[in-house]
Amino acid sequence: MYQAIIGRVLWHLHASWGSSFVLDEILAIAYLVGVVMSVYYIKSYMRLWSVPGMIAVSLLASCGEGDGEVDDSLPSCEEDTRDDEFVVGIEKTGEAGFTLAILDSLPAPPAKGDNQWSVELRDASGTLMPGYALEVAPFMPDHGHGTGVTAIVTDDGDGAYTINPVNFFMPGYWETTITVVDEGPTDSEDDDIDIDSMVFKFCVEG
């Protein structure tokens, strides 16, 4: 894209140099300025709508309101009825019948900041299922944002996986969607298949 733009600018400049009309040169310079300005505008627009940008914008819009005041528009964790109470072995079953159990959480219960989860994956018949990829996506539905910290998943064999970190960077109600993915025979994402997904719901204290 940049080569094409630069090529067109050079062509215009060449055309203007080749003639004796001052007007051509003025047009070429105006064109160059226009291209630079529009590229800069598009880049800044894209930066605004990138994931960190969206998080920053939604944080400014929703999480930053009421500086120094107690925000009582949202329930505290004690009042929140949407969350799961954490117990060792808490499990969720997806629509395809796969079950994911959290066998250990550091810390327990899950808290603000980075959490490490040891989980176990079984299929609908209860068989332990190693060899899948898990995609972990914490999300705050009240604020409409996720986290910028990517969870790294390790396949420990025999259906056991370690997820670290599950990042809850602010207090409140978080829904963590874990998607079970069959990555297929190649490294390419083209042959990835989503097998099942489950949602864990935890409210973390400030």
Nearer to Cu ion, 136 or 203 (CB): 203
Residue closer to Cu ion, measured from CB, 12 or 143: 143
* H/E segment holding residue 180: strand 172-182
CB of 92 to Cu ion, least distance (A): 22
Find the binding residues for Cu ion in span 74-103 (CB under 5 A).
Answer: none
Candidate ranges 12-20, 66-74, 93-101, 132-140; the one touching Cu ion (CB under 5 A): 132-140
- Nearest residue to 153 (alpha-carbon basis) of 116, 103, 196, 112: 116
- Count CB neighbours of 121 within 10 A: 25
Picking from 136, 110, 87, 140, the residue whose alpha carbon sits closest to that of residue 204 is 110
Q: Does 63 bind Cu ion (CB under 5 A)?
A: yes
Q: Are 57 and 48 in contact (CB under 8 A)?
A: yes
Name the residue nearer to Cu ion (CB basis): 89 or 206: 206
Query: Which of 28, 100, 121, 140 forms a contact with Cu ion (CB under 5 A)?
Result: 140
Phi, psi (degrees; rounded to nearest 5) at 71: -85, 100
Which residues of this protein are in contact with Cu ion, per CB under 5 A?
63, 140, 143, 170
